């Protein structure tokens, strides 16, 4: 609902402003050592979903 409305109503200048704003934000996880933690979280989510399907 939101994306189609944005495509319909936002101008080219609006999109440029949005691109600049998002481009200025940095990745909060950049440079951190959380990859192992994310792998464990992913595995937990997958196993939980798999259990709920069966």
The DSSP symbol for 30 reads T
- 1: in domain: yes
Q: What is the pTM of this model?
A: 0.46
Give the domain range for residue 2.
1-25
In a domain? residue 40: no
- The predicted-structure confidence for 20-45, as pLDDT tens digits, reads as follows 998 888 777 777 777 778 888 999 99
Q: With cut-offs at 50, 70 and 90, classify the pLDDT of residue 10.
A: very high
Domains of the chain: total: 1
The whole-angstrom separation of Cα 23 and Cα 16 is: 10
Q: Which residue has the higher pLDDT, 28 or 49?
A: 49
Q: Give the pLDDT of residue 54.
A: 62
* Phi and psi, residue 27, nearest 5°: -70, 120
């Amino acid at each position: 609902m939101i994306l189609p409305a944005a495509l319909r109503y936002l101008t080219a200048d609006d999109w440029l402003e949005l691109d600049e704003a998002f481009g200025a934000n940095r990745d909060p996880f950049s440079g951190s050592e959380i990859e192992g933690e994310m792998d464990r979280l992913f595995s937990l989510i997958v196993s939980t979903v798999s259990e709920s399907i069966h």
